[in-house]
Structure 1
Amino acid sequence: MIVDRRAALTGLAGLAATPAWGGGRADPVATTVMGRVRGLRERGVLVFRGIRYGADTAPYRFRRAVAPAAWQGIANATRHGPAAPQTKSEEPTSEDCLFLNVWTPALDQGRRPVMVYLHGGAHAHGSGSDPLYDGGSLVRRGDVVVVTLNHRLAGLGYAYLAALGGPAESGNVGNLDIALALHWVRDNIGRFGGDPARVMLFGQSGGGAKVVTLMAMAEARPLFHAAATMSGQHVTAAGPIHATQRARAWMRQAGAADVAALATMPVARLVAAMAMTDPLEGKGEISFTSTLDHHVLTRHPFFPDAPREAGHIPLIVGNTHDETGYWLGDVLRRGDTGWGNLPVRLAAQMTKDLDPAYVIARYRTLYPDRTAGQVLLAASTAGRSWPGHLIQAEERARIDAPTWMYQLDFPAPEAGGVLGAFHTLDIPLVFDNTAVAGARTGDGPDARRLAGRMADAFIALARTGDPNCAGVPAWPQYRLDRRTTMLFDRTVRTQDDPRRAERMLFAVAPYVKPGG
């Protein structure tokens, strides 16, 4: 749902300041460097939704965003701002989308750790307003400040147009938006009870990929002090040649003769063109992602190694045991995977280029009691989603950077547990939000107990730069000689080199990002 600029400027989420508001006298008012904002009290937490951190991006399409103008009076910060323009959105969207949300215990000078979350959805979908990202539970549990945010996505945030006559930064303006939000945090979070010198950046899936990309960006690195990537398996960004091919295909699909036409075209037309099939992968929507542009991003996040410039930043690298259960849900529920059709189904899922028949034979030897469907889930995860996480942890270990690895083993209860611990399942656990609608963990005692322990570890990283705390067993840093990993399940424990045989099976083939 795309809203026009006039509606966005006058009707949504405190975009215009107002001298008065109809809330109760107890509603909190905070002062930012641009002006005052009024929030709400919710279950003992002060909540500010839809605080503007950047100006409308429409006049700066494909270019670096700018800070907002100061305002008079008190701006309403009681509703989420619009999400970035995107396909399949279920919430209002607008190019005027640079808004963030803050949860805090108090507007004092408490100097609390700050946890800034980047939403998932590849680089194309989502926003910071998903109920699963509500920071209230973390605030109540750990006396921290939580921030979520929106930024430009898909073609508007990551189309690389430099080789076509467009702005040099166009392939990374979504990341520059995040950096702008982090500048806002640095300059304002002390007025919300947070400590600008203790900012932790964490994100899941595409959000986790952006976390590690920002660690490779000289402009962003000084703005945060700890990090966690949850199923954000990016090792490389898009190369400029492939990124240009995608941008050219998108431009052609939209009917734009050049970048100047693309920059002035109605945004709805651009969004419709984003739904085209990716020209390099031949499936899905066109894939825009962070770009190695030799300008904003001058190196890949983890190739040829981990950036030594970010070696001082403590990092959690996390993955789920059964990542691909998220995408294979319908197949696994049907239960119609047999040994006959397994090779074709597995080949469609693996990123690592190994003979599916060979992989299946090895899995049947390793796990003789598993069904074909269970082998599909395990081998597709090990051959698609897991390798990137391993590379991140391994490369960090090689430069002796403080790194901790976890694996979520707790299975989702739906469909009798056949989906396993799939991609996204750690979100409600880390946010301690298992009771929120959409939390597929269930809200039973085991899920609630596990959520508390995962939340405590993330809070500890934000507070001290180390996830070790009373809520988890001793968690050693990841080293290549042991590969110690925290297994989050009904019983939380560490294990050295979990799934070693599967890791070694796929280690014979390189990891290459599809369409990169």
Structure 2
Amino acid sequence: MRLYLATLLAASVCISAIDALADNGDLSVQTKGGVVHGTIDSATPAVRQFLGIPYARPPVENLRFAPPQPALPFGELEAKQMPPSCMQYMSLLPNIYTREVPEFNLGGFNETTGPISEDCLFLSVWAPRLKSKKKLPVIIFFYGGAFTVGGINAPYLVPSNWIQRTQNHIVVAFNHRDNIVGYPNAAGLPPDKQNVGLLDARLAVEWVRDNIGAFGGDPERIGLWGQSSGGIIISYYSYVYREDPIANSVILASGNEFIDILSHDPTHGNFTFVASHFGCGNLNPADELACMRRADVGQIEDFLRAHGDVGRTPPAFFSAVIDEHTVFADYASLARAGRIARLPALIGSNAQEGITFIPYDPNGGDLALADQMTMTFFFCPTYQAARARIAAHGGDVPVYRYLYAGNFSNVSPKGWMGAYHGAEEPMVFETHSLVRGESTALQRKTAHAMQDAWVSFVATAGRRMTVEGWGAKGEEGLVDGGRVVEFGNGVPARLVDTSELEKQCREMGISLVNGSD
């Protein structure tokens, strides 16, 4: 009862304070590009939303397939609705995200991708409405999608509820180019300009550094949080910009440099194959590229969908490529040489990741195969990524590990789904009760434990963690990247021993970068 009354009192104080801002002066912010006018949602009245701010020029015409260019000044901008996502298509083949949890999909709760456009390089800022005496820590979210799909306009990935609850941080999320427009691997492009989707990410982070202070954020406390391919992007980033990462910390959720979803196409055959279907065949590299810049980008995506969903060969797969500029071939060696940014890292994965990557079966399918995929493609690479950072810095930089194991029915509507790939996102974003009923008390406590851990980690650069006993490498005996904290398995958070799982990784031949074992 005391907790309930305290919550009501805090809410009434918050609402009263917000009422004092009735002139909405806090919803207009001067950025380097111009004044942005934000909005509030009545469901989260203590959160300012600035939606759809351009951080780059539209990547169209001659800028298609090209590195991003900083946005031009815009004067004034009504930043009050979500921007379109970058060009992509959703596979029509059945999977968990189209059959069970469409809340991860763009723009709505169905099988569509929501509004998409080639002019898509926008970011959005969510900030507390009440002014803080101190600049607030900032978390930049990098969405997942296997370098193929994704965007910030997905119901489960909106942080308004999270900020409404905590009032102690700012979240920024941005769109970046994926698939063929983000990773063309065209023979007509120079080697260091093939992975333009990765360059989008750097430009977005630079925009945050230069502008977030105007929103009340601390440019010295910017944490990068990425899920799946978003975590992979941050990992690559950490090696490329090791001398100037801008960020103070990284959170890698089910994605790191040791998960290989690259496109291995040294002959640029995929781009030429697609070009041949748009009147751009049998041309030299420069003319082929120029021709594809004139092709209808919507028709290109339609072709990729039709070609990919029926399993044709070649698959015309587009993802990041090794170029030795933005993506490197041997991260273990780079780590041993210390050639990675000295950034505190919070690294983790989920207990049932693999269920998402076996053939979809409404009854669950081959759970043994799913478990094997969880170990091979997620738990063991996560373990390896932690060891890489320990090797790079000799334990001087904090490295924490976590495991999400929650199985809550409104996020995992089929019991066999468990803590599938991405299941932790609605917990951290505080969107877990968005559909399929109210959350349980344990679920809410677990979500809050994760939210508080994420914010504290960024706010203190890993110096203070919210779970008692959660140690980082550097303490005596913590040779494998710190004690692992498990979230959601019967209790909100607890320390667990994962040594048997790590032994399995070694028996599977996982190459550890800081030891012969």
User: TM-score, normalised to structure 1's length?
Assistant: 0.78
What is the alpha-carbon distance in structure 2 between the residues aligned to residue 505 and residue 165 of structure 1?
42
Aligned partner of 1:68 among 57, 67, 71? 71
What is the alpha-carbon distance in structure 2 between the residues aligned to residue 282 and residue 412 of structure 1?
38
Q: Is 1:104 aligned to 2:103, yes or no?
A: no
Of 227-236 and 51-60, more deviation after overlay is shown by 227-236
CA gap of 1:124–1:241, structure 2 versus 1, over 3 A, is: closer
Q: Is the 8 A contact 1:158 1:290 kept in 2?
A: yes
Match of 2:376 in 1: 383
Provide, for residues 338-397 of structure 1, a one-character-per-residue CA deviation record: whole Å limited to 9, x for no partner: xxxxxxxxxxxxxxxxxxxxxxxxxxxxxxxxxxx5433322322333332122112122
The AA in structure 2 aligned to 1:469 is M
Task: Report 1:123-162 matches (<5 A).
Answer: 123-140=147-164, 141-161=166-186
What is the alpha-carbon distance in structure 2 between the residues aligned to residue 465 and residue 167 of structure 1?
37
Gaps of 5+ in 2: 1-21, 91-111, 282-287, 513-517
Instruction: Tell me the secondary structure at the aligned position of residue 418 of structure 1.
Output: helix
Instruction: Tell me the secondary structure at the aligned position of residue 417 of structure 2.
Output: coil
The AA in structure 2 aligned to 1:432 is E
What is the alpha-carbon distance in structure 1 between the residues aligned to residue 121 and residue 234 of structure 2?
18
Q: Is the 8 A contact 1:274 1:286 kept in 2?
A: yes
Provide, for residues 219-257 of structure 1, a one-character-per-residue CA deviation record: whole Å limited to 9, x for no partner: 894221111111114325747644723333333344422
Match of 2:348 in 1: 318
Match of 2:275 in 1: 251
**Deviation, structure 1 residue 330:** 3.7
**Deviation, structure 1 residue 130:** 1.4
Q: Is the 8 A contact 1:159 1:170 kept in 2?
A: no
Q: Is the 8 A contact 1:29 1:39 kept in 2?
A: yes
The AA in structure 1 aligned to 2:171 is V
Gaps of 5+ in 1: 1-23, 338-372, 512-516
Instruction: Tell me the secondary structure at the aligned position of residue 288 of structure 1.
Output: coil
Question: What is the count of residue pairs matched by the alignment?
Answer: 444
The AA in structure 1 aligned to 2:52 is G
Match of 2:494 in 1: 493
What is the alpha-carbon distance in structure 1 between the residues aligned to residue 440 and residue 314 of structure 2?
36
What is the alpha-carbon distance in structure 2 between the residues aligned to residue 268 and residue 450 of structure 1?
42
Q: Is 1:36 aligned to 2:35, yes or no?
A: yes
Provide, for residues 31-86 of structure 1, a one-character-per-residue CA deviation record: whole Å limited to 9, x for no partner: 111111111123211111111111111031111111122123x3110001111000
Match of 1:213 in 2: 236
Q: Is 1:261 aligned to 2:263, yes or no?
A: no
What is the alpha-carbon distance in structure 2 between the residues aligned to residue 273 and residue 167 of structure 1?
26
Match of 1:185 in 2: 208
Q: Is 1:423 aligned to 2:393, yes or no?
A: no
What is the alpha-carbon distance in structure 2 between the residues aligned to residue 268 and residue 303 of structure 1?
41
Q: Is the 8 A contact 1:103 1:139 kept in 2?
A: yes
The AA in structure 2 aligned to 1:455 is Q
The AA in structure 2 aligned to 1:211 is I
Instruction: Tell me the secondary structure at the aligned position of residue 222 of structure 2.
Output: strand
CA gap of 1:32–1:418, structure 2 versus 1, over 3 A, is: same
What is the alpha-carbon distance in structure 2 between the residues aligned to residue 395 and residue 70 of structure 1?
41
Of 247-256 and 406-415, more deviation after overlay is shown by 247-256
Match of 2:15 in 1: none
Provide, for residues 269-321 of structure 1, a one-character-per-residue CA deviation record: whole Å limited to 9, x for no partner: 22123336579x97896432222213344565555536724342011111001
Task: Report 1:234-245 matches (<5 A).
Answer: 234-235=257-258, 238=262, 241-242=265-266, 244-245=268-269
Provide, for residues 101-141 of structure 1, a one-character-per-residue CA deviation record: whole Å limited to 9, x for no partner: 10111467741101000111111111012122222233231
CA gap of 1:38–1:460, structure 2 versus 1, over 3 A, is: same
CA gap of 1:469–1:483, structure 2 versus 1, over 3 A, is: closer
Q: Is the 8 A contact 2:390 2:481 kept in 1?
A: no
What is the alpha-carbon distance in structure 1 between the residues aligned to residue 463 and residue 153 of structure 2?
26
Q: Is 1:508 aligned to 2:493, yes or no?
A: no
User: TM-score, normalised to structure 2's length?
Assistant: 0.78
Q: Is 1:474 aligned to 2:469, yes or no?
A: yes
Match of 2:198 in 1: 175
**Deviation, structure 1 residue 459:** 0.2
The AA in structure 2 aligned to 1:407 is L
Match of 1:367 in 2: none
Q: Is the 8 A contact 1:233 1:389 kept in 2?
A: yes
What is the alpha-carbon distance in structure 2 between the residues aligned to residue 99 and residue 307 of structure 1?
36
CA gap of 1:198–1:70, structure 2 versus 1, over 3 A, is: same
What is the alpha-carbon distance in structure 1 between the residues aligned to residue 316 and residue 463 of structure 2?
37
The AA in structure 2 aligned to 1:226 is S
CA gap of 1:221–1:320, structure 2 versus 1, over 3 A, is: farther
**Deviation, structure 1 residue 506:** 4.9
The AA in structure 2 aligned to 1:319 is S
The AA in structure 1 aligned to 2:479 is L
Aligned partner of 2:114 among 79, 91, 102? 91
Provide, for residues 309-337 of structure 1, a one-character-per-residue CA deviation record: whole Å limited to 9, x for no partner: 43420111110011012234843x426x6
* RMSD (Å), alpha carbons: 3.0
Match of 1:344 in 2: none
The AA in structure 2 aligned to 1:487 is E
Match of 2:284 in 1: none
The AA in structure 2 aligned to 1:411 is N
The AA in structure 2 aligned to 1:122 is A
CA gap of 1:416–1:271, structure 2 versus 1, over 3 A, is: closer
**Deviation, structure 1 residue 502:** 6.6
Match of 2:440 in 1: 444
Q: Is the 8 A contact 1:109 1:191 kept in 2?
A: no
Task: Report 1:360-399 matches (<5 A).
Answer: 373-399=366-392
